[in-house]
């Protein structure tokens, strides 16, 4: 009892901190909505139009916070407020794109936000012990393959912007690959927890590296290889990179062997060279990444417009409602960070990055403090998804890496991504609550 008493006594204070942080996050989002309404075209619109999306989100967040109080009272108090802040700013930025382009994406994003918070609540209610998930790890592995393969089906799958990632379910269009990231992490956590000892023992030499027996690596390599092959067939190379990075990170944490990251880097370099030769659209992306000004009205148009927007924003930004997001292709999805960089400036863009850094830091803290191997592996995998997804899209827009069509978590327009990220946060809270309760 003495081991669990301090976390239990600290729980009310943590939840109080969480409420205060939620109020702060809500205040910032409402302030941003008010500034956009005052400065944007057609100011003084009815308040439900200007503030409705943020207020609906805050109402859902308040319910979600009450659920955390009852179901995970000892969990991290920072994750939910930071997620709500990012989500709220995303709603404001998407409405800004709507004003500039005449679209109405914010209404759908508000509905997806409510659905995401509902998924957050359901995940906490259903998953009372994260270790129970790994008892079905092979089922989650099979589910991962099914989810990734769904867009390849001739009737359900839909190709959008050259990538076959979408499935039409009635009036909705969803991206099963977003859920597949979570199911893959659950599969890997269970598999690696059971085979960690065998994978840690190096008995075979591969060039300068010592690696475990092929029969121990074969099941994992086959499953991951099929996942990556499916993603390549879908022309979704960004998600391929993301899943590959998650696998390598979890392998390293499970075994502590540096050989896995080194081997992973070699395999990635070989795969990247092969993909460059096989896929013409990848060569075009690399060329526009190296020099978007060589074809600023064609292949390099998006990166050129992003560069103009970030330069126009300067340090403090043009102000909400005073930029030109209509000039940026796919501003609400792929390039929402550029919209923030132009209208909020370097200061606002850095603040967004710090929010992601805070989520990632807290996620890895949960992994370090977990009391069981499954919790550590789950937290590492889930947090690495957030970290890599943020790095890849921001790095692509700032020309650190080639641009891929990955969304900025919790900020970009996209329902599937929003649902998956709220489920991810709920699982992290479940792992952290289990640590504090033991």
Structure confidence by residue, pLDDT tens digits, 244-255: 888 888 988 888
CB contact set of 204 (below 8 Å; sequence gap of 6+): 210, 211, 212, 213, 214
Q: Is the pLDDT of residue 368 over 70?
A: yes
Q: Is the pLDDT of residue 154 over 80?
A: no
Cα separation of 438 and 421, whole Å?
26
Q: Is the pLDDT of residue 9 over 50?
A: no
Q: Please state the rounded mean pLDDT for residues 1-20.
A: 61
Give a yes or no: residue 56 inside a domain: no
Give a yes or no: residue 431 inside a domain: no
Q: Give the chain's mean pLDDT.
A: 84
Give a yes or no: residue 243 inside a domain: yes
Give a yes or no: residue 164 inside a domain: yes
CB contact set of 193 (below 8 Å; sequence gap of 6+): 134, 254, 373, 374, 377
Give a yes or no: residue 433 inside a domain: no
Q: Please state the rounded mean pLDDT for residues 72-93.
A: 94
Closest CA to 144 of 49, 228, 57: 228
Q: Is the pLDDT of residue 135 over 60?
A: yes
pLDDT score of 7: 43
Closest CA to 173 of 194, 192, 190, 150: 150
Enclosing domain of residue 227: 135-275
CB contact set of 418 (below 8 Å; sequence gap of 6+): 87, 109, 112, 113, 115, 116, 410
pLDDT score of 243: 82
Residue 16 CB neighbours (<10 A): 12
pLDDT score of 257: 78
Cα separation of 408 and 424, whole Å?
15
Domains: count for the chain? 1
Across 190-194, 221-225, 362-366, least confident range: 221-225
- Please report which confidence band the pLDDT of residue 352 belongs to, taking 50, 70 and 90 as the band edges: very high
Give a yes or no: residue 178 inside a domain: yes
Q: First vs last Cα of the chain: how many Å apart? A: 9
Give a yes or no: residue 109 inside a domain: no
Q: Please state the rounded mean pLDDT for residues 322-342.
A: 92
Give a yes or no: residue 197 inside a domain: yes
């Amino acid at each position: 009892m003495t081991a669990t008493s301090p976390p239990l006594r600290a729980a009310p204070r943590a939840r109080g901190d969480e409420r205060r942080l939620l109020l702060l996050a809500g205040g910032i989002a409402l302030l941003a909505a008010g500034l956009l309404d005052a400065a944007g075209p057609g100011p003084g619109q009815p308040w439900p139009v200007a503030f409705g999306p943020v207020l609906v989100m805050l109402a859902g967040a308040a319910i979600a916070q009450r659920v955390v109080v009852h179901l995970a009272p000892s969990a991290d108090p920072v994750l939910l407020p930071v997620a709500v802040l990012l989500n709220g700013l995303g709603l404001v930025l998407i409405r800004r794109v709507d004003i500039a382009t005449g679209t109405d994406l914010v209404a759908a994003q508000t509905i997806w936000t409510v659905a995401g918070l509902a998924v957050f609540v359901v995940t906490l209610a259903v998953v009372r012990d994260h270790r129970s998930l790994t008892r079905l790890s092979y089922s989650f592995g099979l589910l991962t393959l099914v989810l990734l393969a769904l867009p390849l089906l001739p009737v359900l799958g839909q190709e959008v912007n050259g990538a076959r990632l979408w499935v039409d379910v009635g009036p909705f269009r969803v991206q099963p690959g977003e859920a597949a990231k979570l199911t893959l992490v659950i599969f890997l956590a269970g598999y690696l927890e059971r085979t960690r000892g065998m994978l840690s023992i190096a008995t075979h030499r591969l060039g300068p590296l010592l690696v475990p027996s092929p029969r121990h690596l074969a099941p994992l390599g086959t499953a991951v290889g099929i996942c990556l092959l499916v993603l390549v067939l879908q022309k979704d190379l960004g998600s391929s990179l993301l899943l590959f990075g998650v696998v390598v990170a979890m392998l390293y944490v499970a075994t502590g062997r540096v050989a896995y990251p080194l081997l992973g880097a070699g395999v990635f370099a070989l795969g990247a060279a092969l993909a460059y030769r096989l896929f013409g659209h990848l060569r075009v992306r690399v060329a526009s990444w190296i020099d978007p000004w060589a074809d600023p009205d064609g292949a390099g148009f998006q990166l050129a417009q992003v560069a103009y927007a970030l330069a126009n924003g300067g340090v403090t930004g043009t102000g909400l409602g005073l930029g030109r997001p209509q000039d940026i292709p796919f501003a609400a999805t792929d390039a929402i960070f550029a919209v923030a960089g132009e209208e909020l400036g370097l200061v606002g863009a850095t603040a967004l990055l710090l929010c992601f850094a805070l989520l990632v830091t807290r996620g890895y803290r949960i992994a370090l403090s977990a009391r069981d191997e499954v919790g550590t592996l789950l937290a590492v995998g889930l947090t690495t998804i957030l970290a890599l997804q943020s790095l890849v899209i921001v790095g692509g827009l700032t020309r650190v890496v080639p641009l891929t069509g990955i969304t900025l978590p919790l900020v970009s327009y996209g329902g599937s991504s929003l649902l998956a990220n709220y489920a991810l946060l709920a699982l992290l809270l479940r792992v952290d609550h289990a640590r504090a309760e033991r």
